[in-house]
Amino acid sequence: MGLTILHFDCFSGAAGDMILGALLDAGLPLDDLRTALGSLAIDRDAVWTERVTRAGISATKFHVRGEEPHAGHSHHHGHRTLCQIERLIDGSALSVAGRDRAKALFGRLAEAEAAVHGTSIDAVHLHEVGALDSIVDVVGTVYALDALGVERVTSSALNVGSGSIASSHGIYPVPAPATARLLTGVPIYSGPQEAELVTPTGALLVSACAAAYGPTPAMRLRRVGYGAGSRDVDGRPNVLRVLIGEADRTAPVETVVVIETDIDDMNPQIFGLLIDRLTESGALDVFYTPIQMKKNRPGTLLSIIAPPEARERLTSLVFRESTTIGVRYTEMQRECLDREAVVVATPFGPVTMKVARRNGEVLNASPEFDDCVRVAAAHGRPVKDVQAAAVRAFLDR
């Protein structure tokens, strides 16, 4: 059986209700979702869907009754603390691993909110994402991905919209501060629509679930789902699309070009800047190796691995930024393991694990070092303690 892949197509942004609506539209039974959410302190009938049309596309609109919009702006605000949300999740029908994942997601959100407002994680109140409907969106999405058998998630770049939004703190630019922080490292762009197209819940779910960003990956398409946003947006359908299919489990072989040059007369301070600029310009990997050159001079072998289409651009950059007068290149085949990011809950906070698989088997899992450094600094603990806790949490899932 192939690897089940889900791709988020975020051409009109992403929100929690859009994601869950799309997953329901793709085949998740509503009754099963209601059962999974049954212990989140809401009535079974408070979760419902309707069929709507957005710019000519039929989509599923997901609703949660129970909390009304805050006066003055459209966000729902439960103003719950992280501990209150974790207690709600502990009472859900998710598996133990599912509850840990949901709590890790909210821990990540709490860190973003605390950083934005300059307070501690324990003191922060999770405004929009502390509302019951957003808690349902997060818990429901964790359940849905498991119920649909999704093994890998990818996403397009996210259209965040433009303009400004009103919040309980005042007028904020789009994307909102917490949303922007959650989208660090994620490819985004602004379309012409003056609206908030990516909410904190949407940013949280996509950034935590997606292992890669870009075009739709090769797959045998099995299901398509459309989740509707709350309003019509001029110029495009306000929907999020999910594509679910199967890909071969055998790791694909891809062609890369290796560009090399020997340098013995350049200020070594320039190498760091050159590597940064090559990486920013599309290189997959850049490294240098000490070598011995003619007349027994110490030199440096600069090696660049890149997609074939980037060869000319990167070669021009090497000529412009370094002292070399010639490069050589060759095409090679490479095979990579399937990789994904998995967020685990540790006693110190959420940490992202980089997981590598071949034919579905986990062959390597390592904590994201930057996460470990950040969490260790916040708790005054050695980085190695956080790394060990993250590995234990991953193995105990």
User: Quick one: tokens of 175?
Assistant: 């994307």
The CA distance from 78 to 93, in Å, is 22
| Strand order, beta sheet including 349-358 | 338-346, 349-358, 361-367
Give 326-365 pLDDT, tens digit per residue: 999 998 888 888 888 899 999 999 999 999 988 778 999 9
- Is 167 a residue whose pLDDT tops 90? no
> β-strand 3-9 against 47-54: which pairing, if any?
unpaired
Domain boundaries, the chain: 3-247, 253-335, 347-395
Q: What's residue 325's pLDDT?
A: 95
**How much is the pLDDT for 153?**
93
Per the structure block, which two tokens stand in for 161?
């919209």
Nearest-CA neighbor of 199 among 238, 160, 237?
A: 160
Q: Does domain 253-335 have CATH number 3.30.70.1380?
A: yes
pLDDT digits (tens, 9 = 90+) for 90-143: 888 888 888 888 999 988 888 888 888 777 776 666 554 557 787 899 999 999
What is the Cα–Cα distance from 124 to 83, expressed in whole angstroms? Answer: 10
Q: Tokens standing for 313?
A: 């651009």
Average pLDDT, the chain: 88
- Which residue, among 127, 365, 150, 387, has the nearest Cα to 245 in the 3D structure? 150
The whole-number pLDDT of residue 126 equals: 59
Is residue 28 predicted with pLDDT exceeding 50? Answer: yes
**Beta carbons within 10 angstroms of residue 302's beta carbon:** 23
Cβ(82)–Cβ(129) under 8 Å? no
Q: Which residues pair with 220 in a beta bridge?
A: 246
* Pairing state between β 188-189 and 158-159: parallel
What percent of the chain shows pLDDT beyond 90? 60
Provide the pLDDT for residue 128: 47
pLDDT digits (tens, 9 = 90+) for 52-80: 999 999 999 999 886 544 333 344 445 67
Residues 242-287 have pLDDT tens digits of 999 998 766 666 889 999 999 999 999 999 999 999 999 999 999 9
Q: How many CB atoms lie within 10 A of CB 108?
A: 22
What local confidence, expressed as pLDDT, does residue 49 receive? 96
Share of the chain above pLDDT 70, in %: 91
- Taking only the tens place, the pLDDT of each residue in 202-226 is 999 999 999 888 889 889 999 999 9
Query: Distance between CA atoms of 40 and 136, rounded to whole angstroms?
Result: 8
Closest by Cα among 3, 113, 131 to 69? 131
**Hey, which of 134-143, 164-173, 318-327 has the most confident mean pLDDT?**
318-327
- pLDDT of 318 above 90: yes
What pLDDT, on a 0 to 100 scale, did the predictor assign at position 1? 67
